[in-house]
């Protein structure tokens, strides 16, 4: 069903004073930026066009796309950056707008299969009884009770068990170990139920990982959703280039091998107890995968193919794992007909072998690299250019594609973003934040900070930030560009707080989940949170709890990052400036994300402190600060102290 020809006018009427939003949502006020954005999105939906839309913090972009989406009369997919945002849209924003519009719209939430309890694997784990610790035993019992009571099977609703508990691995399925139609629990499958609901809904809320996983693997239900869909809206669209590269590539992980060995062992005990070779082979494959992880350093790190190729232990470990997978494959082939589970393990083993062999071969336009995590090693093959691959997904059935975020442009220029995703003919538009940044915020670039690559840089950052931190009395984020700098900053701040006997609770990324840390930060009101990448975006703290954001360095990707290195080399071969066209725009978008943490409301006040001297000393520094909201700018500490003094009640 095509969108109504009156969609633009109908959309504008919703936002008018006395219209459905102001009549039904307490505190709602009409903002010209929001209305204009909603009209642009309505026009794009009505005409099946592509629109790239940047809206500054406070514009209200969620309502600006939800109103035309709910009024359009067609099927709409909304994709967000994280599962947290997905839940917020589904549980809060969409019900609010739907009630205000009195729109008879059916909405569904669809997540990746790892988010839903799998009755088959839950039963298998309860029967198998092999758990890593007592905590898992308690958690698996709680999950079993939850599975009997829940309607959705969504683990986010199981509040008794943390989302990162290892017990979930034993109670959920993966694309590889799902038995599909052959599953004895097929009729009770929560994943299938979620997909059915999504197929019959008018608005389906997904996340970017799910969208791309499905477009590439045709596995998560989107393959059935897309053909009937009239519009796709990507919120937090600045994350798409990164997500697209991840999914348009291939990967092989030792954790997938460990999962296969565990499942094959469990299926063997259930259906082929007499085959002792199978138990032994799974044990050997398990060990070979763990040994491969140990051929690189213990600390998590990324490795270019050149580094891995020069590591004889790694090459031997890789060859050994391939050999052991081949032996396990032969045993599983013999046993496959004894159960659906064993047949599934045989198929998975074959796929893993194929991926491993493929990764070892060089492919044009693809960079091979490895990433070591605490307990696993992932081998990736990433395409250097995703624009044409992504564009292929957009062409075909006519529909609207909307890309929106607070951070897509560099100095009002969208070409970097559009070129990365192949959106060469997309219309673009941007709206400044309605907040009065000139009054509400100060951009402070302190003097006399050494070059970021010199020793003592982190010490100089903390020293420079200390007077500002004392003046605001806490309520600060220190956003660091590396984990090493984060840990050192935390150490230095702890020492200073102790020396001066100041009562400011100090929080560190990793001491709890992101959600827990943010809740504590808001509740405490005068805390200092030191974080790295995960706190640069998707964090909303309003009011006095946050009035200082310190960014240590301009967030350029590390020059030795294997994918970045290969992209830079390729662009330079083509005679292009990788720095100006790729590295700088990405850094600017990241700075805009970090800066966006500071002012979240019309009454917020605060200082954004960027300690990297390159902001002032390098010609490209202008492109960075000119891309930020129009705050008052200063290099003098006294102006920062006066700003905070003016905020104190007389």
On whether the CB atoms of residues 245 and 384 are closer than 8 A, the answer is no
- 563: which 2 tokens? 């994918």
pTM for the model stands at 0.90
Question: From CA 17, how far away is CA 491, in angstroms rounded?
Answer: 52
- 136: which 2 tokens? 């898992």
pLDDT at 221: 53
Which residue in the block uniquely carries the two structure tokens 């003919």?
A: 425
Q: Which residues of 587-621 are buried (b: 16+ CB within 10 A; e: fewer)?
A: bbbbbbbbbbbbbbeeebbbbbbbbbbbbeeeeeb
Mean pLDDT by 10 residues, the chain (650 residues): 71 94 92 96 96 95 97 95 89 96 95 92 83 83 94 92 86 87 90 91 94 67 72 96 89 94 91 94 97 94 94 97 97 94 94 94 94 95 91 86 95 94 96 94 96 95 97 95 94 96 94 87 94 85 92 92 92 94 94 91 94 96 94 97 88
Domains of the chain: 7-112+192-246+385-431 (3.40.50.300), 248-383 (1.20.120), 437-647 (3.40.50.300)
Question: How far lies 648's CA from each of 441, 472, 605, 632, 642, in Å?
Answer: 15, 9, 11, 19, 10
Smallest CA-to-CA distance from 480 within 562, 549, 410 is with 549
Question: From CA 369, how far away is CA 382, in angstroms rounded?
Answer: 8
Question: From CA 76, how far away is CA 57, in angstroms rounded?
Answer: 24
| 476-479/548-551 β-pairing | parallel
Q: Where is 79: in which H helix or E strand?
A: strand 76-80
On whether the CB atoms of residues 53 and 403 are closer than 8 A, the answer is yes
| 441-444/606-610 β-pairing | parallel
Q: Where is 489: in which H helix or E strand?
A: helix 483-500
Which residue in the block uniquely carries the two structure tokens 């790892």?
A: 114
Question: From CA 556, how far away is CA 535, in angstroms rounded?
Answer: 16
| Cα end-to-end span (Å), the chain | 61
On whether the CB atoms of residues 115 and 191 are closer than 8 A, the answer is no
Q: Where is 531: in which H helix or E strand?
A: strand 528-531
604's CB contacts (< 8 A; 6+ apart) are: 435, 440, 542, 543, 546, 547, 598
> What is the DSSP secondary structure assignment for residue 310, as one 8-state letter?
T
On whether the CB atoms of residues 430 and 58 are closer than 8 A, the answer is no
Q: Residues, the chain, total?
A: 650
| 441-444/632-634 β-pairing | parallel
pLDDT at 4: 56
On whether the CB atoms of residues 130 and 168 are closer than 8 A, the answer is no
Smallest CA-to-CA distance from 98 within 176, 205, 222, 234 is with 205
Q: Give the strands of the sheet with 476-479, arranged side by side.
A: 506-508, 528-531, 476-479, 548-551, 606-610, 441-444, 632-634
pLDDT at 178: 87
On whether the CB atoms of residues 564 and 583 are closer than 8 A, the answer is yes
pLDDT at 2: 45
pLDDT at 648: 83
Q: How many CB atoms lie within 10 A of CB 313?
A: 12
Question: How many CA atoms, within 13 angstroms, populate the side-chain half-sphere of residue 254?
Answer: 26
| 301-304/400-405 β-pairing | unpaired
280's CB contacts (< 8 A; 6+ apart) are: none
Query: 3-state DSSP: the chain helix, strand, coil percent, rounded to 5?
Result: 55, 15, 30
pLDDT at 214: 73
């Amino acid at each position: 069903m095509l969108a109504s020809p009156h969609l633009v006018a109908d959309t504008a009427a919703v936002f008018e004073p006395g219209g459905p939003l102001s009549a039904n949502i307490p505190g709602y006020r009409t903002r010209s930026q929001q209305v204009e954005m909603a009209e642009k999105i309505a026009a794009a939906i009505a005409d099946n066009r592509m629109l790239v839309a940047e809206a500054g913090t406070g514009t209200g972009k969620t309502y600006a796309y939800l109103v035309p989406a709910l009024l359009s009369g067609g099927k709409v997919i909304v994709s967000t950056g994280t599962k947290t945002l997905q839940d917020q849209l589904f549980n809060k924003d969409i019900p609010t707008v739907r009630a205000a519009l009195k729109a008879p719209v059916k909405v569904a939430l669809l997540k990746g299969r790892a988010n839903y309890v799998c009755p088959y694997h839950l039963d298998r784990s309860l029967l198998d009884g092999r758990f890593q610790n007592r905590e898992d035993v308690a958690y698996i019992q709680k999950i079993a009770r939850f599975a009997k009571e829940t309607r959705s099977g969504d683990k986010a609703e199981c509040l008794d068990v943390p989302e990162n508990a290892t017990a979930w691995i034993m109670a959920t399925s993966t694309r590889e170990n799902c038995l599909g139609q052959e599953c004895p629990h097929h009729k009770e499958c929560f994943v299938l139920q979620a997909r059915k609901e999504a197929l019959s809904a008018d608005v389906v809320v997904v996340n970017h990982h799910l969208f791309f996983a499905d477009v590439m693997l045709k596995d998560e239900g989107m393959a059935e959703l897309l053909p009937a869909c009239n519009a796709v809206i990507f919120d937090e669209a600045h994350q798409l280039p990164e997500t697209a590269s991840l999914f348009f590539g291939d990967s092989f992980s030792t954790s997938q091998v460990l999962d296969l060995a565990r499942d094959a062992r469990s299926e063997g005990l259930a259906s082929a107890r007499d085959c002792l070779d199978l138990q032994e082979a799974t044990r050997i494959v398990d060990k070979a995968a763990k040994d491969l992880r140990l051929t690189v350093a213990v600390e998590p790190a990324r490795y270019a193919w050149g580094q891995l190729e020069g590591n004889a232990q790694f090459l031997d470990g890789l060859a050994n794992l391939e050999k052991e997978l081949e032996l396990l494959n032969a045993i599983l082939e013999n046993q496959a007909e004894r159960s659906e589970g064993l047949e599934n393990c045989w198929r998975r083993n074959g796929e893993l072998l194929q991926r491993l062999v493929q990764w070892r071969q060089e492919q044009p336009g693809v960079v091979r690299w490895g990433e070591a995590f605490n307990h696993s090693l992932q081998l990736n093959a990433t395409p250097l250019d995703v624009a044409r691959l992504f564009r292929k997904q957009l062409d075909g059935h006519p529909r609207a594609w909307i890309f929106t975020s607070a951070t897509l442009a560099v100095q009002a220029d969208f070409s970097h973003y559009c070129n990365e995703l192949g959106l060469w003919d997309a219309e673009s538009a941007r709206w400044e934040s309605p907040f009065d940044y000139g009054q509400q915020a100060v951009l402070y670039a302190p003097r006399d900070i050494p070059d970021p690559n010199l020793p003592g840089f982190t010490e100089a950052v903390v020293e420079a930030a200390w007077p500002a931190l004392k003046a605001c009395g806490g309520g600060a984020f220190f956003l660091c560009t590396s984990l090493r700098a984060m840990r050192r900053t935390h150490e230095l701040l702890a020492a200073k707080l102790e020396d001066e006997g100041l009562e400011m609770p100090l929080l560190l990324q990793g001491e709890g989940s992101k959600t827990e840390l943010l809740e504590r930060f808001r509740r405490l009101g005068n805390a200092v949170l030191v974080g790295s990448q995960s706190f640069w975006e998707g964090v909303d703290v309003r009011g006095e709890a946050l009035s200082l954001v310190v960014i240590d360095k301009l967030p350029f990707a590390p020059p030795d990052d294997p994918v970045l290195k290969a992209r830079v080399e390729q662009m330079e071969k083509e005679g292009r400036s990788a720095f100006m066209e790729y590295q700088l725009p990405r850094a600017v978008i990241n700075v805009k994300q970090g800066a966006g943490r500071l002012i979240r409301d019309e009454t917020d006040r605060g200082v954004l402190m960027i300690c990297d001297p390159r902001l002032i000393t390098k010609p490209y520094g202008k492109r960075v600060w000119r891309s930020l909201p129009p705050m008052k700018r200063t290099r003098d500490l006294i102006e920062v102290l006066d700003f905070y003094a003016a905020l104190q009640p007389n």
